[in-house]
Structure 1
Amino acid sequence: MTITIYHNPKCGTSRNTLEMIRKSGEKPQVIEYLKTPPSRDELVDLIGRMGLPVRDLLRQKGTPYDELELGEDKWTDDQLIDFMMAHPILINRPIVVSDKGVRLCRPSERVLDLLATEIGTFTKEDGEVVTSND
C-alpha cells in the first residue's frame, strides 16, 4: 500500500497519526507541508477527494486566520484556497492519502480506516489509548 501524510512535526495529532501509520508496518511518504506545500492543483484535488467543504480544511489555532478575517462568510472557496497557498499553516493537518482514500485525520484515529493492517493498541502522546478493530 502507498501512504502519504501531509505532516507537521510540531503537531501532536500529526505525530500520533504518523506513528499509527508506522505501527501498521507502512513506510509512508512524509511531506512536511510547511516546507513543501502542495501546489494549488494538488490542494484542490485533496479537498475534492476528501469531500470536505474548503472552509472545513482551514486551521484557526496558531495561524493568521483571525487577522485575515477568514471567519467571515465574504470569501469564496477559491479565495480561501488562495489564502492557504499564501499561508500553508492555514491548511489543517494531518492529511493522509492511501489506497483506501484521503482523509483529514483529526482526531488521529481517523487514519485507522485508511490502513491495510490493524495496529492493535496504540497509546497517543497524551496517554489516550486507541484500539483498532477490523
Structure 2
Amino acid sequence: MTLTIYTKPGCFPCRKTIEKFQDAGLSPQIVDVSTTPAALEYITEELGYSQAPVVMYDKDGSEDHWSGLNPTKISHVIELHTS
C-alpha cells in the first residue's frame, strides 16, 4: 500500500490525520505543500482540492483520495491495510 499525506505547517487536521495513521502502525509519506510547489500545484490543479490535508492511497491498483480530516475514510484505509 502507498499512503501519501499532503500537509501544511500548523494544520490541525493534518496533524490528527497523520497521528491516526501512525497510531495504527502505518507510516505515510508526508509532503509539505508549503515547501514543495509541485505538490501544491498537483493537489490544487490536478485534483482540485483547496483544503489540507489531502490523503492519497493506492492498494493493489485501487486508488482513492480526499481532502480534510475524514475519520470514516481513515478507518477504511486502516482496515484495508490490516486485511
TM-score, normalization by structure 2? 0.70
In the alignment, is residue 114 of structure 1 matched against residue 73 of structure 2?
Answer: no
CA RMSD of aligned residues (A): 2.3
Deviations 1:32-90 (A, max 9, x none): 111113163x2333x2xxxxxx4xx3xxxxxxxxxxxxxxxxxxxxxxxxxxxxxxxxx
Q: Which has the higher contact order (CA 8 A, sep 6+)?
A: 2
Cα 1:33/1:39, change in 2 over 3 Å:
closer
- State the identity as a percent: 24
CA distance in 1, matches of 2:10, 2:21: 17
Q: SS of 2:51's equivalent?
A: coil
User: Which of 1 and 2 has greater Rg?
Assistant: 1
TM-score, normalization by structure 1? 0.47
In the alignment, is residue 16 of structure 1 matched against residue 13 of structure 2?
Answer: no
Which portions of structure 1, spanning 4 or more consecutive aligned residues, are displaced by more than 3 angstroms? none
Structure 2: gaps of 5 or more residues? none
Q: Which has the higher strand share?
A: 2
